[in-house]
Amino acid sequence: MQVFAWMARCAGVVAVLSPLVASAQTPAAIKVTSATMTDGAPVPRQHTPDGRNDSPPLAWTGVPASAKELAIVCEDPDAGNPPPFVHWVIYKVPATARGLPEALPIDPAAAMPSDLAGAVQGVNGFRRAIYRGPAPPPGKVHHYHFVVYALDTTLAKPVAVPMGRAELLDAMKGHIVGQGELVATYERK
């Protein structure tokens, strides 16, 4: 009998908590595409160190009207210690932007395109504030997640050193109103 009474109390607690969990904000789905990459397909060589290592063009739709800024992270959950290994971080992207052009500047002194004014490239796993494409060890397919986040706030102005992925995710906590990703693969033979 005591077991049944305990189960009934637990069920009551779950029933009370369920409305709170259901009312938690679920980020809107953002559709992420690219003119040069396809979801589930290999990253073109031009976006890797085996080619020109140009950042890929990205486009997105479905950004919520409440978004004030966007952030993009490219990460490889098949690498890193601990995973994921971070290939690209870009934040403070205006919410009005509909994408990123191919081959963003790698020189920190170079200006961003006018529609991305104020955007900051953050520190990647190579400890540089640029895009660095896939270059996994030979023999295993790696997955590259290009994740777009829509935020309901503007992030603080960058300090002397731009944020990395961990700092960015921490700054975005509780402010993500939309999210989507494109996942591409790369394998070196």
Q: Could you list the residue range(s) of the whole structural domain that residue 110 is in?
A: 27-186
Does residue 153 sit within a domain? yes
Residue 2 lies in a domain: no
Its pTM stands at 0.86
Residue 159, in any domain of the structure: yes
Give the chain's domain count. Answer: 1
- 6 — pLDDT class (breaks 50, 70, 90): very low
How many other C-beta atoms lie within 10 A of the C-beta of residue 178? 22
**Does residue 72 sit within a domain?**
yes
Residue 38 within any structural domain of the chain: yes
Q: How many CB atoms lie within 10 A of CB 18?
A: 10
- Given a cut of 50, whether residue 23 has pLDDT beyond it is no
Beta bridge partners of 61: 31
64 assigned to some structural domain: yes
CATH at residue 128? 3.90.280.10
